[in-house]
Structure 1
């Protein structure tokens, strides 16, 4: 798989980690620098290192960051090409990068990071993360490169500066998100350089790339907000419902594995451990693309699988297994979390028309019914209430939303005004409305 395509796959896949994956995948952070570097094209390794150092020391100059990149590349080259007996060759890439950073004592002193280098891992990493500043305006406005310079054959330095400038302004954004944005920008260069109006072409194409980048960056922040506000269990349930709807053909063990992987990956990314986050995405992409036959029956390549919905087979109703089954209470008491996750998976793959929020509501109601019904003599009859409760809930919500639908038909302006009032009264301080 080409590296650019592979990065695109990472970008689409989101995040990954799982108990059922091999120790190599679960413990990606302890893999040797040499083995990691050996599997990455030199220019892409440069880009990865450049983005990482730019995020960790945002105020450093491009020349300073470039020097750090050259240092870590040289060491990795020695490990892979010459097999030098250097104990540092067994360091993980993350530790190797941190070591390179702390080795430049005058550099870390200049940017007041000496205290971080005095700590042992993982506290050393946490210290660097704590110094990141994503406040808008913390880094001066980026002056876009001259169009003619972009069209010269020797534009690699400009692209490198583009990575540097982007990464230091987005210190909490995952590295694959940044690299794919750079890749998308590079794709427009040949066409725009042949355009009669190069400036307008670059302005238009760059705006589209930036918009896509900001959307994915927002999505990452949104996922972190859900994780922080609702906790990992609800976040994982959210992902189980998403995956089950999108790929109803996938087996439960695969869906549960991927949901767990995505959850753990987001935990790494959301706490600011972006390199570990990147490593998990790399290993997850490898795992999924190698084992794609276990997730879909008609997968030609990794990207095509994740960009389209799997075919939906005829699925039997969930009643027989979860409502009419007298063993439901026993299964629930034995492992509540796993049983409810299995119910959510089965219910979601049968209801692609339901929102994720509604599916989570159904899962919650089913749990409440289990608590109630398993204390009765005839649990199946009691559990049969679920369908009635779901239908009632949907009808009530449809009735409640009718007035909004009428206003929406009167135009976007009226609907937006109503929505502003709604948000004001229900979310913001009512006294301000």
Structure 2
């Protein structure tokens, strides 16, 4: 994969036909040329990502067909940029090419999108993406030797296939992230194929790649879900909190300017427009690096790096906290003209409050900062219509502390679960809780979300910054439940938490009980039918089956108490263990399975 030995976020373009504004400065010209060269050499890989994310059911052969078509398109426009087709937006060109493949729209049920044009068609393609991927075949795990041989025989086809498989399983992940992932995968393949113990090498090094994908996938889906459900104002609030904590030196005027570029980036990224996304990210990095004096003194070396590397470097840089920054923000409480300033421009006033509070409180999570801003806004709505507003809002700090204390209690309770339960029991606790509140979700989604909860607590509950870490990561897990699409629906209670108030959805979810609208299955559908293949299952596979069994058991019997569910899970595990040791495992299963089923219905 040419030019893909990159780390961090890949800053790139898609086609020459929608390039950045023509550069005027020497550095801009240099960056422009590097980016353009990158596109020319990697157009095929980017096409596969976009196609596989839009049409997840499509075969690799169909993705390859489109890749060749788009490569030809690129070559024609490089030869003669004045051709009429070369003036179109890249995403429109891509979608037109997808629709033009004979029989493809009918085969994969997206003809309705091809009948639309412009924004309506782009939105239709976006809504065609499916977060649940149960309909896809299991990802084939090649033997390390086979993997290395396939890479040696045809590295381009091997990497194309990898990008295709990862992209169709992660339809909402931004294209730059997937290209970075592919770059890392290629480096791992090159390294491990030279090792004697290839299997161990792949297993060890793949963990970091998987963690990278999971972390960015969760973050991107969460922020895009907030943007698409709640609009630009909530997106801006999230970014104000993040940027103010990351760059506490930045002036508010500079922050609002940077915010315009950041919001522009997410607008394209969240809709799945790769070009818009990449252009936006490049613009953000250029902005930050051009204003180092007023943003951060910690990013000088980052900004001297090549475009593809500087993004991750900036994100990983240290915070540059001003020495004269007071720990307490008093203006919002002691200023007697608060109501006048708020009434003059409410959006700017609240944005400045969030900026000032966030840069002073690195120990708080982003969701908590948004909660405090909402509490302050609600308080001013009440106070500014009273006879003595300053006296009314003088207790704002107490309100903020009460809000944080409530959030702290939730985090403490969750970390107590982590400390008191083993890893497996912790997961079972959340699998039961999550399945009871959202039984409409697929078994695969629920087991994944349960694992993510355990990962969040395992990662955070031993850290000194426990609160911010847990609250930030659990908020990402809630983002997985709520999904990206604004028209996603699960059940009335969960939908209410997902769509009513982004800042307070954590406490909303915390208060949820079992879904009363759910009608369980009338039959077990083979839940208590065990087979001998369980006896050959390895530890990880057996654990996955156990997790799925528990989720399906809760779906079948949601009225059972946690204690009764745990008892049935223990009984089933003991049955599997006992029958696998018996002389005739299948006979044992046939006898014991119905007994377990009867016990479940008697509960």
**Which residue pairs with 2:90 in the alignment?**
93
**Which residue pairs with 2:371 in the alignment?**
361
Following superposition, the deviation at residue 52 of structure 1 comes to 1.3
Cα distance change of structure 1 residues 200 and 358 upon mapping to structure 2, 3 Å threshold? closer
Write the deviation string for residues 215-248 of structure 1: whole angstroms up to 9, x where unpaired.
Answer: 3222322334444555543342222112211220
Matched position secondary structure for 2:67: helix
**Which residue pairs with 2:240 in the alignment?**
240
**Which residue pairs with 1:64 in the alignment?**
62
**Which residue pairs with 2:583 in the alignment?**
none
Cα distance change of structure 1 residues 123 and 172 upon mapping to structure 2, 3 Å threshold? same
Assess if the C-alpha contact under 8 Å between 1:58 and 1:132 holds in 2: yes
Assess if the C-alpha contact under 8 Å between 2:49 and 2:163 holds in 1: yes
Assess if the C-alpha contact under 8 Å between 2:418 and 2:426 holds in 1: yes
Following superposition, the deviation at residue 191 of structure 1 comes to 1.9
Assess if the C-alpha contact under 8 Å between 1:147 and 1:199 holds in 2: no
Assess if the C-alpha contact under 8 Å between 2:9 and 2:176 holds in 1: no
Give 1:33-182 correspondences, 5 Å limit: 38-80=36-78, 82-83=79-80, 85-145=82-142, 146-150=146-150, 152=152, 154-182=154-182
Assess if the C-alpha contact under 8 Å between 1:129 and 1:273 holds in 2: no
* Counterpart Cα distance in 2 of 1:99 and 1:416: 45
Structure 2: tracts of 5 or more residues without a match: 12-19, 23-31, 303-309, 437-509, 517-558, 562-603
- Which of 305, 324, 333 aligns to 2:314? It is 305
* Counterpart Cα distance in 1 of 2:380 and 2:7: 44
TM-score computed with the length of structure 1 as normaliser:
0.79
Write the deviation string for residues 135-187 of structure 1: whole angstroms up to 9, x where unpaired.
Answer: 32322223245233255274122111111222223333321222121111111
* Counterpart Cα distance in 1 of 2:418 and 2:372: 28
Cα distance change of structure 1 residues 117 and 307 upon mapping to structure 2, 3 Å threshold? same
* Counterpart Cα distance in 1 of 2:411 and 2:73: 62
1:256 to 2:256 alignment: yes
Cα distance change of structure 1 residues 59 and 315 upon mapping to structure 2, 3 Å threshold? same
Structure 1: tracts of 5 or more residues without a match: 12-22, 26-33
Assess if the C-alpha contact under 8 Å between 2:239 and 2:259 holds in 1: yes
Give 1:301-340 correspondences, 5 Å limit: 301=302, 302=310, 303-313=312-322, 314-316=324-326, 321-340=331-350
User: Which structure has the larger Rg over C-alpha atoms?
Assistant: 2
* Counterpart Cα distance in 1 of 2:33 and 2:84: 14
Cα distance change of structure 1 residues 396 and 123 upon mapping to structure 2, 3 Å threshold? closer
Give 1:379-418 correspondences, 5 Å limit: 379-394=389-404, 410=420, 412=422
* Counterpart Cα distance in 2 of 1:390 and 1:251: 24
Assess if the C-alpha contact under 8 Å between 1:147 and 1:198 holds in 2: no
**Which residue pairs with 1:209 in the alignment?**
209
* Counterpart Cα distance in 1 of 2:61 and 2:417: 57
Following superposition, the deviation at residue 344 of structure 1 comes to 0.9
Write the deviation string for residues 302-338 of structure 1: whole angstroms up to 9, x where unpaired.
Answer: 3332102322112136655333333322211110011
Following superposition, the deviation at residue 342 of structure 1 comes to 0.2
Give 1:368-383 correspondences, 5 Å limit: 368-376=378-386, 378-383=388-393
Cα distance change of structure 1 residues 282 and 44 upon mapping to structure 2, 3 Å threshold? farther
Assess if the C-alpha contact under 8 Å between 1:404 and 1:415 holds in 2: no
* Counterpart Cα distance in 2 of 1:248 and 1:187: 36
Following superposition, the deviation at residue 63 of structure 1 comes to 3.1
Cα distance change of structure 1 residues 250 and 115 upon mapping to structure 2, 3 Å threshold? same
**Number of residue pairs aligned between Structure 1 and Structure 2:** 412
* Counterpart Cα distance in 1 of 2:177 and 2:33: 24
* Counterpart Cα distance in 2 of 1:395 and 1:133: 38
* Counterpart Cα distance in 2 of 1:396 and 1:102: 52
Assess if the C-alpha contact under 8 Å between 1:344 and 1:359 holds in 2: yes
Write the deviation string for residues 352-397 of structure 1: whole angstroms up to 9, x where unpaired.
Answer: 1223333223322322333344345654444322223334555566
Larger displacement relative to structure 2 (409-418 or 274-283): 409-418
- Which of 327, 351, 376 aligns to 1:341? It is 351
Matched position secondary structure for 1:122: helix
Matched position secondary structure for 2:249: coil
Matched position secondary structure for 2:152: coil
Cα distance change of structure 1 residues 397 and 209 upon mapping to structure 2, 3 Å threshold? closer
Aligned alpha-carbon RMSD (Å): 3.7
* Counterpart Cα distance in 1 of 2:282 and 2:89: 14
**Which residue pairs with 2:190 in the alignment?**
190
